[in-house]
Amino acid sequence: MIAVVLVGGEGTRLRPLTYTTPKPMLPIANRPFLEHQVEHLRSHGVDRIVLACGYKPDAIRAHFGDELDYVVEPEPLGTGGAIAFAAREAAIDETFVACNGDVLTDLDLTGLVAFHRDRGARMTIALHPVDDPSRYGVVATDGDGAVTAFIEKPPPGSTPVRTINAGTYVAEPGVLDLVPPGRSVSVEYDVFPQLVGEGLCALADEGAWIDIGTPASYLAANLERMPPGGLVDPTAVVDPKAVVEGSVIGPGCRIEAGAHVHGSVVLAGALVPAGVTMDNLVVGRTGESVW
């Protein structure tokens, strides 16, 4: 099975971290996010991963090398345009997986592919339940899993539906015909609405799921993936008179005497000076970030 992973976005909500590091390379529990995603895809039988790149592809390529395939857009083509551009460049002519490159999940991809085939769908969306869907794409389905409505980022309170697009799809290569080449096309705004009633299906998944794309969810993803109690990289130096609890401390960090670090992420090379208290924060090196 082939997967196209969208990694071309600028990660604007994670600035200033993403000024220097593209979102897929930001660490989650001291490993680049994309390593977690690649591992998940491989565990479901994905044996070829094509990255649809745009913003800062070199950092991604330098890390993964020949392990992955890379397609770099000449200009941002939007989510639909990027999937189609990558699929065409990679000559995909079979059922394939496409996913957003910023979702940390253990969703049942094997089950999603089986459901897609069983329904004879043209495209199938994995769904995840949330309390406030306004940040996401909202998906309504009938009892058989056919999508009856797809609304991207509805105004808060405007819909009772709580199932959202989890950012993982199974697609037939024929859907690429809906995406004209050479211009920006959104899969959420342009393609899904066209496919409603025309072979678009969706399946709810109960698995863990988090979009790492905002400061709060980036922090939450780190805390979810760290071992119980916390994670301190062996190259970090924590003064015996510092208190570090339930936090992720990256390589080369220094936590000075009297510092208190709780439920936070300290990114590679950062210094937490003597006497500073951090609660539910993310910090990077000077000039990089403080939330």
Residues found near ligand GDD in the complex (CB under 6 A): 6-9, 23, 52-54, 73, 76-79, 82, 100-103, 136-137, 152, 164-165, 167, 188, 211, 213
Residue closer to ligand GDD by CB (options 97, 249) is 97
Binding status of residue 80 toward Mg ion by CB under 5 A: no
Name the catalytic one among 23, 56, 153, 241: 153
Least separation in angstroms between residue 105's CB and Mg ion is 12
> Is-contact 199 122, C-beta < 8 A?
yes
H/E stretch holding 282 reads strand 282-283
Q: How far separated are the first and last CA of the chain, in Å rounded? A: 39
Is residue 23 among the annotated active site residues? no
Does 152 interact with Mg ion (rule: CB under 5 A)?
Answer: no
Beta strands in 57-146 (DSSP E): 69-72, 96-100, 103-105, 123-129, 137-141
Contact between 211 and Mg ion (CB under 5 A)? yes
Closest approach, Cβ 125 to ligand GDD, in A, equals 9
Q: Does 213 bind Mg ion (CB under 5 A)?
A: yes
DSSP string, 191-215: IHHHHTTTTEEEEE--S-EEETTSH
By CB under 5 A, tell whether 102 contacts Mg ion.
yes
82 binds, among Mg ion, ligand GDD, none (CB under 5 to 8 A by kind): ligand GDD
Its sign, for the CA torsion 203, 204, 206, 210, is: positive
Residue with tokens 């992420």: 265
Tell me the closest approach of the beta carbon of residue 217 to Mg ion, in angstroms: 9
State the catalytic residues: 153
